[in-house]
Amino acid sequence: MESLTKLLNNGNALDLNSTKYYASILGESPSKGARSPKLWNRAFSKLNIDAIMHPMDVKSSNLENVVKELKKDQNFIGGAITMPYKIDIIPYLDKTEPLAEKTGAVNCIYRKKGQLIGTNTDGAGAIWSIEQHYLKSLKNKTVLLLGTGGAGFAVATYIASAIGKLGNLLIAN
């Protein structure tokens, strides 16, 4: 994938063939401190998965072509999307999960049946956490969400879906 590494702004070419599979964190400059590669690479190692996560610094003008190259490479399994591309990447993906589409932002992409699909783990993670630790179900509940910054909009979208039409979502910002 020499053409992919030429599209990146990492300074050094990444060795995308050092493992059978690879993941990435795509953003303007994740190589300058993103923690995702350390976390995922440790998980891959512990689970004996022949994969590595690479930070991929991408200029805005190269985003579309980077996604095209990743789509072509069946060894690319997906990864994280960070600033400022959580919105900009959507038109280049094959598909976006319905709730992620409603939020208008994706922070994660994965490969399924040859397609790159965008999702939003902020909202899904909030629902999972609430239902695992506090309530079995949010259906028909009243929920107060404090704050709308950062992941707040995604969380609000997912909660609104989980509570259903008979639930109430109150937002204090």
Residues annotated as catalytic (active site), given as ranges: 86
Helices (H), 59-166: 63-72, 98-103, 121-133, 152-163
CA-to-CA separations, 145 to 98, 119, 126, 157, 158, in angstroms, rounded:
21, 21, 11, 11, 12
Type and span of the H or E element at 44: helix 36-46
What six digits make up the tokens of 33?
Answer: 């401190």
